[in-house]
Homo-oligomer: A and B are copies of this chain.
């Protein structure tokens, strides 16, 4: 049995994604990881890249969101589990949106966040299946699904 896991979260740095992928590979977990475009600049510019030049910055953002939402919807629908990683920087409303979409679609949700974010994340945490502080803990949770003893 193979699982697909969507890695939701900001894309300014992707170390946490690499750690999850590497640890899972080291454990030979039968998991395919998917997620958003991890090149932040390209994610912001994809609207103009495909549609062509836009009239102003609002339209540049709106155009980019067309393609980012298309990608997220397709890949999240294919996923069995969503991991949403929150950090101390950035607004990360996309991450909250993806986490909530997972909950609404009854796809199990693992949240990773530092203890400093307990208060503002308390309602999302409350709905998640697992709330941990490190990618290592998230991978242990994934591994536990496959373990037999």
Interface residues of A (CB under 8 A from B): 1, 3-4, 32, 34, 37-39, 42, 46, 49-51, 55-58, 61-62, 64-75, 77-78, 80-81, 86, 90-94, 96-101, 103-106, 108, 110, 115, 117-127, 129-132, 137, 140-141, 144-145, 147-149
Known: A61-B118, A62-B122, A74-B80. 6 other contacts (CB 8 A): A1-B78, A42-B149, A57-B119, A68-B123, A71-B145, A96-B100
B65 touches A126 (CB 8 A): yes
A99 to B123, CA, bound (A): 14
Which are the 8 A-B pairs with shortest beta-carbon distances? A104-B104, A100-B100, A96-B96, A91-B120, A65-B126, A61-B122, A65-B122, A97-B100
